[in-house]
């Protein structure tokens, strides 16, 4: 997890556009490879400072992740590819965010039953990854990109 605002998902967005045009296996595979290997996503959060008087430093900060229900009411973690996509959900307000990668989402989803998966740009391209797909992609990442 990063506390930075600099990231670039142009390569992923180009691949998603190509996937939408072609709907081919190679175009889908390219999107999946980018999601698991190099994409970084804005995750809307609420950060709560440590209890007053506690000598815990930054690690005492509590992070609450937002969840969005899908059409079946299952909670998904939103993952945004850009500030513009994030603003489609939260408007112009100054939303607290963390910058996450696929492994960050996989860890949250596979270790905690509260999230049924994650969704990339829920008000845009809306690519959903349920718990089973996240487990499959985590395995794929370990096999295909072992050094990451």
Residue-wise pLDDT tens digits, 80-134:
999 999 999 988 888 899 999 999 999 999 998 889 999 999 999 999 999 999 9
Q: Residue 71: is it exposed, middle or buried by C-beta count within 10 angstroms (0-12/13-18/19+)?
A: exposed
- Residue 103 burial (10 A CB sphere; 0-12, 13-18, 19+): middle
Tally of structural domains, the chain: 1
Q: Is residue 1 part of a domain?
A: no
Residue 28 has pLDDT above 90, yes or no: yes
> In this structure, is residue 95 part of a structural domain?
yes
Q: Is residue 125 part of a domain?
A: yes
* pLDDT at residue 112, as a whole number: 84
Q: Which residue range(s) make up the domain with 99?
A: 10-144
The reply to whether 55 falls in a domain is yes
Is 42 part of a structural domain of the chain? yes
Structure tokens at 22: 């072609």
Distance of CA 23 to the CA centre of its chain: 23
Q: How many CA atoms within 13 Å lie on the side-chain side of 71?
A: 2
Beta-strand ranges (E) seen in the chain are 40-48, 62-65, 68-69, 75-79, 97-101, 117-120, 127-130
- pTM assigned to the model: 0.86
The reply to whether 128 falls in a domain is yes
Inside any domain, residue 17: yes
Task: Provide the pLDDT for residue 121.
Answer: 97
Decide if 5 is inside a domain: no
């Amino acid at each position: 997890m990063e506390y930075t605002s600099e990231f670039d998902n142009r390569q992923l967005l180009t691949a998603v556009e190509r996937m939408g045009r072609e709907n081919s296996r190679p175009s889908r595979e390219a999107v999946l490879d980018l999601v698991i290997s190099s994409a970084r996503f804005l995750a809307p959060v609420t950060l709560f400072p440590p209890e007053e008087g506690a000598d815990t430093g930054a690690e005492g900060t509590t992070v609450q992740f937002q969840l969005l229900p899908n059409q079946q009411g299952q909670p998904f973690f939103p993952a945004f590819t850009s500030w513009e996509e994030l603003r489609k959900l939260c408007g112009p307000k100054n939303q607290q965010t963390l910058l996450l990668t696929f492994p960050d989402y996989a860890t949250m989803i596979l270790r905690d039953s509260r999230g049924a998966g994650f969704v990339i740009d829920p008000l845009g391209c809306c690519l959903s990854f349920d718990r089973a797909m996240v487990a499959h992609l985590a395995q794929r990442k370990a096999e295909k990109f072992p050094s990451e």
